[in-house]
Structure 1
Amino acid sequence: MEAFLFSTGFVALAEIGDKTQLLALLLAARFKRPIPIIAGIFVATVLNHALAGSLGSWLTALVPADIMRWVLGGSFLAMAVWLLIPDSIDDEDTRLQDKLGVFAATTIAFFLAEMGDKTQIATVALAARFDSLVGVVMGTTAGMMLANVPAVLLGEAAAKRIPVKWVHGCAALLFAVLGVVVLSGVQLGFMG
């Protein structure tokens, strides 16, 4: 349960203002079909984060614990810095709809947009940290949905009211604290 809750909170915060959330806003404004867009986001996220989580779990089994601590700590600190860099989106991410339906276009666009994205990297790191692949993937997927479903349903009006810089700052601070905790070797209840 810890892996699920921790992963949900981290990814929900990290996703605010992220490229994929901007993609959700763009798709919602362009196609005005929330159900297939939300379904596409869900499918793409589950697939992408299951692969990322599996990579994180595999790395944990492969890399010795003392080295993994440095890798994870450094990854969380890098995530903190990355969260402070604003994202943008290309119009090309939505051109797939011309050839495919809204659901398929959203699924493909989201899957590709998530490749190497902050939340995918966070999923790898969280899966490496927690011994619960299912909990992490379910949590990161829930976090993505918490951030993107309102973006799809409420569109740009809601996005303009969310203080993205403040949310990114809070998320960056959380990742930085987690990185320092992991690097210092301090064991907290939620850190196993």
Structure 2
Amino acid sequence: MASFIKALLLVVVAEMGDKTQLLAMAMASKYKVKHVMMGVLIATVLNHAMAVAVGSYLGNVIPMDIVKIVAAVSFLAFGLWTIRGDKLDDEEEKKVKFGPIVTVAIAFFMAEMGDKTQLMTVSIAAENSSPILILLGTTAGMLVADGIGVVGGAWMCKHVPESYIKWIAGIIFMFFGTLTLYNGLPTTLLSPVYIILFLAVMGILIYLFGVKFAYHGQLCNIVLPEQEVSVDKENNTSERA
């Protein structure tokens, strides 16, 4: 059960502001919420089943010490990826000539290939020996996060700055990554010199990903299109007056 809870919570954190959550929000503007969530469920089960299979295989053939270090580095990378944010390409939002559920499932499956949550599922599965629980946990986490985005996206944009969501999620990942790396590295690499060097490198990377090359406003651009249009109209009216 601990593996299930860990997988669920980490995926919920990873999915906030992620490309696939943005896609789910965009699809919810065209289709019924129940159809969107059903498509997300189908795509997630298929996609994450592959990720869990790959992660379980790697966990069996690679020494656990190396798995822990790779997982730690992955969590740090996921944290940087999260604070940078994601954007939804126009191609990923195009309609497919099928019913709504199949359309969402295909689009979501393709968008999830190589995405942060899929790669994280591989890492979690490699660290644990409960593939079924990992699959159930990551699938539930995707449904929770995308459900929050689809249903509560507008509320979040009105009351919680998008940057707060990204930074909190990113810091959580980097904290767990740093903790896992600390516990997995040999003691010879835990000297003050290496720790200071690590902190300096992470500080530079956080600035680059979180400030210099970050995507801004992607979440609210999708969930509040009508509000933005009305604001533009009001601004134009006031300028004419």
The gaps in structure 2 that reach 5 residues or longer are 185-241
Q: Does 1:171 align with 2:169?
A: yes
Q: Secondary structure at the match of 2:98?
A: coil
Identity %, equivalent residues = 39
Equivalent residue for 1:139? 137
TM-score (norm 2): 0.71
Contact map agreement 1:73 1:180 (CA 8 A) in 2: yes
Show the counterpart of 1:44: 43
Paired residues, what number?
183
Residues of 1 paired with 2:65 and 2:151: CA distance? 45
Q: Which residue is 2:157 aligned to?
A: 160
One-letter amino acid of the counterpart of residue 135, structure 1: L
Amino acid at match of 1:158: W
Equivalent AA in structure 2 for residue 90 of structure 1: D
Match of 2:29 in 1: 29
Q: CA deviation at 1:159?
A: 4.5
* CA distance in structure 2 between the aligned counterparts of 1:172 and 1:153, rounded to whole angstroms: 23
Counterpart Cα distance in 1 of 2:7 and 2:161: 22
Q: Which blocks of at least 5 consecutive residues in structure 1 are unaligned?
A: 187-192
Please list the CA deviations of residues 25-57 of structure 1 after superposition, one character each: whole Å capped at 9, or x if unmatched.
1111123x1221110000101111111111111
Following TM superposition, where does structure 1 have runs of at least 4 consecutive aligned residues deviating by more than 4 angstroms? none
Q: Distance in 2 between matches of 1:81 and 1:3?
A: 24
Secondary structure of 2:84 counterpart: coil
Give TM-score, length-normalised by structure 1: 0.88
Higher RCO (CA-CA < 8 Å; seq separation 6+): 1
Q: 1 CA distance for matches of 2:51 and 2:109?
A: 12
Q: Report the aligned-residue RMSD.
A: 1.6
Spell out the pairing of 1:76-91 with structure 2 (5 A cutoff).
Answer: 76-91=75-90
